[in-house]
A and B are shown apart, each in its own frame.
Chain A
Amino acid sequence: MSDPVPFRPYAAGSQPDYNAPTYGSTALRHPSQPLLRVPHSLTETTGPQHDAARYPKRDMLTQVAGAPRESMGQRIVVEGHVTDEDGRPVPNTMIEIWMANAAGRYHHEGDQHDAPLDEHFDGAGRVFTDANGHYRYVAIKPGAYPWRNHHNAWRPNHIHYSLFGAGFASRLITQMYFEGDPLLALDPIYNSIPDPAARLRMVADLDIGLTEPEWALGYRFNVVLRGRGATPFEEPGEH
């Protein structure tokens, strides 16, 4: 049996360090030893593939089942494509999303921020890409919220994303930010990515073409997952 094709190493500066001194929670949660680089066997090159029939989609976050009215907040449509680094669509892959409500509070017992909860919004969604890697959902624009990392720390508006892609090695947890948010410059989590150009890949742009007249603003957010590559395992990488 021939060996599976490995995923390529990440580009230099495109991923955060585990130890990010301005992000306080990393202090006791980052490994102090170097990671052990392992060749990609089937364990790494294959990964969970979710059957949409068993993981039902939830793409209208503005409408909670049983709720008598829509969620409060600025209605948004978010859509984009999931591709790999070679531009190939990642089809039929599950995307999980979660977010704060319009007031900047999560529907979560751990969130004690003194901002109102919206009983008509729980902020959790799930969509699948189609055969072309395209996805879409409807939500509200989540509010900024304080988070105690340092004096007067506020997270920029963001939507959390979880993606799987084709292999265990392509697992990605990220956050989608909004174009033009002045809090981005102040945010240790966003700025934990060394390469400023890489940070911009987490920022969604307002797209008037996706905006639905008289109904919702449209944002485009494309996600790129690791490509499979020709980089031999032994080659000195940027790790």
Chain B
Amino acid sequence: MAHATPSQTIGPYWHLLLEPSWADLTRFGATGEVITLEGQITDGAGALVTDACVEIWQTSPPISETFDGFGRSRTDMNGMFHFKTIRPGPTPGLGNAQQAPHLALTILARGITKALMTRVYFEGDDGQDTDPVLNLIEDPKRRATLIAKKTSEGSYRTDICLQGPAETVFLDV
């Protein structure tokens, strides 16, 4: 059996790939409840991470001609990323489990040797008490790092801290 090719950092020059339109997951005409998600990324010293590539993936709503479930945003000079997408619904977990609505989110940057993966849940959604991933996190403060705050109707914010006391929970996927 062959082994997987090793990961390497995406480095500081990945913007050569950047297409800003990819941050809008409605760009192929998807319809549904549109939401926005933004957030700020900081490092272990509290400095803004202004060169990150942030990607999201969602399996709900189902993938279709008008929705491919994938988005990519850079972080800007304020360390902020911005997405526009369709609100996900609950999805099946393993066995009979149900997962609360969520997105998968990946952070790639200079100094990050392998994709940092996490999830984004949404404040106020049902099903978080019984969500199989959230329930693996005992510390309520850490668990809260996966739940985006509602800033206004249809708008959410999730700040990501790469290292330190407020560190986001990252997943071994």
Contacts and interface: CB of A to CB of B under 8 A. Distances in A.
Interface residues of B, number: 67
A47 interface: yes
A31 B162 contact: yes
Interface string A28-46: 1111110111111111101
Given A38-B133, A42-B91, A50-B68, A18 B114 contact: yes
B15 to A, nearest CB: 6
B162 A1 contact: no
B95 interface: yes
A86 B2 CA distance: 7
Contacts of B151: none
Interface string B1-20: 11111111111111111000
Interface stretch (A132-140, A167-175, A178-186): A167-175
A3 B3 contact: no
Interface in A1-26: 1, 3, 10-11, 14-18, 20, 23-26
B27 to A, nearest CB: 9
A172 B5 contact: yes
B59 interface: yes
Contacts of A3: 94-95
A106 B13 contact: yes
Interface stretch (B30-38, B41-49, B122-130): B41-49
Given A48-B68, A49-B68, A201 B111 contact: no
Contacts of A151: none
Contact of A28 (B13, B99, B111, B172): B111
B170 A36 contact: yes
A142 B139 CA distance: 48
Nearest to A98: B16
A18 B167 CA distance: 14
A189 B9 contact: yes
* B7, B12, B15, B102 interface centre (most CB from chain A within 10 Å): B7
Contacts of B170: 31, 33, 35-36
A158 to B, nearest CB: 8
Contacts of A198: 3, 6
A173 B43 CA distance: 21
A227 interface: yes
A96 interface: yes
Contact of B169 (A36, A98, A108): A36
Given A23-B113, A28-B47, A168 B173 contact: yes
Given A31-B170, A160-B11, 4 more contacts: A16-B7, A23-B113, A41-B99, A83-B2
28 contacts: A18-B112, A18-B113, A18-B114, A23-B111, A23-B113, A25-B110, A25-B111, A27-B44, A28-B47, A28-B111, A29-B111, A31-B163, A32-B44, A35-B172, A36-B133, A39-B132, A40-B173, A41-B91, A48-B69, A85-B2, A98-B14, A98-B16, A110-B12, A110-B13, A173-B9, A174-B5, A189-B8, A189-B113
Interface of B: 1-17, 28, 43-45, 47, 49, 51, 55, 57-59, 63, 68-70, 91-95, 99, 102, 104, 106, 108-117, 119, 132-133, 136-137, 142, 162-164, 167-173
